[in-house]
Amino acid sequence: MMPVQTPIYMDHHATTPVDERVLEAMLPYFKGQFGNAASRTHIFGWTAEEAVDRAREQISALIGAQPKEIIFTSGATESNNLAVKGVAAAYRDRGNHIITQTTEHHAVLDPCKALKRQGYDIAVLPVDKYGQLSAQAIAEAMTDQTILVSVMAANNEIGTLQSVSEIGTICKEKNIPFHSDAAQAVGKIPLDVEAHGMDLLSISAHKLYGPKGVGVLYVRAKPRIQVVAQMDGGGHERGMRSGTLNVPGIVGLGVACEIAQEEMAAEAKETKILRDRLQQKLFDGLDQIYLNGHPEKRLAGNLNISFACADGESLLMGLSDIALSSGSACTSATLEPSYVLHALGLSKDLAQNSIRFGIGRHNTESEIDYVAAQVIAEVNRLREISPHYKSDPESKQIAEKAESF
């Protein structure tokens, strides 16, 4: 095995490093070309506005949208809030029913909870054991009061992909706006808002090798989707999101999307090879482990595994030279087991014994081999001091499930 440099970063669902090409494109807009894109009376403002317009073209090209449909925000959390709350306010006279799923990111679930406190009717639908929600289940949950369906394209913990095209078709038939949190999906899998029937779509730059602090909400223009602004003060972004535009960040997001459009297919293929190599080594080297999420319909760089009789927090602490997580970065400070894994039907103990591996653009085969060896060694060490290993009935069931994959 080739020597590796530690620490190794394998938490690309939490964030990604800024691509060197992205950084290079951003730098001029911090210094010489520092104008405000809303300043229309001089060259500094015109230059900034041109850069923003170029980014709109790059981003819209990646998702099959029109440049004017790109609304810049501070990230996917703001985009999700604007989509959910903005649509709820705009269509309140048509109804108060919103449909989402149990495994959504908190950036969707929490705005829905806020709306519920205001009297909205929120349907949080269960998923199957792989984390998928069928279009049929959504159709059955729809009422004449339904004004929004919000289902993420790819899950941030288990990598499961949703059937967004089928969901989009159902929503279009019923004339109900369809929003998708695509923070984990954009730049990783092909997404086309027209082909998938998406009316609103959230993007975060730092999930696809762009900078933190900038994102996008795609809002369909024809037929027009109405969104009530959640932040007032200047009427920027077609009146949907006021505030001075983050020009350097927007430039970076645009370049990150352009790179993704050109390299996404090849990168996904290479990433999947690394992911499959890690998965195979772990399953060959350990018994009583279980793959969480869909075995095939998942992000190429995602691997979420439960290790029976090996506490997840202890496992992470023992792997201090590898950046991993036990779930969403937004909830990593809590010791509570993942609500996503609980929604799949996993027990509390099994959910707490889970690790998310997020493989990205710069990981290597040598790093994969190193991580596999370290994980196997640490799991075996923890099991040696576990009174439940080999004798736990649940562990035997886990082993049987793992073999079924």
Each residue's pLDDT expressed in tens, for the chain with a length of 405 residues: 568 999 999 999 999 999 999 999 999 999 999 999 999 999 999 999 999 999 999 999 999 999 999 999 999 999 999 999 999 999 999 999 999 999 999 999 999 999 999 999 999 999 999 999 999 999 999 999 999 999 999 999 999 999 999 999 999 999 999 999 999 999 999 999 999 999 999 999 999 999 999 999 999 999 999 999 999 998 899 989 999 999 999 999 999 999 999 999 999 999 999 999 999 999 999 999 999 999 999 999 999 999 999 999 999 999 999 999 986 455 555 567 899 999 999 999 999 999 999 999 999 999 999 999 999 999 999 999 988 887 444 544 444 443 333
List C-alpha distances in Å: 131 to 100, 281, 363: 13, 24, 27
Residue 288's pLDDT is 95
Q: What is the largest CA-CA distance in the chain?
A: 76
Q: What is the pLDDT of residue 403?
A: 37
**Nearest residue to 134 via CA among 99, 108, 110, 107:** 99
Domain ranges of the chain: 8-16+264-404, 20-260
328, 157 Cβ separation under 8 angstroms: yes
| Selection from 369, 367, 331 nearest residue 351 by Cα | 331
As assigned by CATH, the class of the 20-260 domain is alpha beta
d(Cα 135, Cα 108) in Å, to the nearest integer? 19
CA distance 218 to 268: 24
The whole-angstrom separation of Cα 207 and Cα 183 is: 7
Give the residue from 157, 158, 272, 214 showing the smallest Cα distance to 18.
214
Residue 293 CA neighbour count, 13 Å, CB half: 27
Preceding amide of 177 cis, omega within 30: no
Q: What whole-number distance in Å separates Cα of residue 99 and Cα of residue 356?
A: 27
Peptide bond into 211 cis (omega under 30): no
CATH code of the domain made up of 8-16+264-404: 3.90.1150.10
pLDDT at site 1: 59
- Tell me how far apart the alpha carbons of residues 334 and 144 are, in angstroms, rounded to a whole number: 39
Report the pLDDT value the prediction gives residue 387, as an integer from 0 to 100: 85
The predicted structure's pLDDT at residue 337: 85
| Residues identified as active-site | 330
- Are 383 and 337 in contact by the 8 Å Cβ rule? The answer is no
What is residue 395's predicted lDDT score, i.e. its pLDDT?
46
- What is the model's pLDDT at position 401? 44
Q: Give 123: exposed, middle or buried? Use CB within 10 Å, 0-12, 13-18, 19+.
A: middle
403 secondary structure, DSSP code? H
What pLDDT is recorded for position 333? 54
Tell me the whole-structure pTM to 2 decimals.
0.93
The pLDDT score that the predictor gives to residue 400 is 43
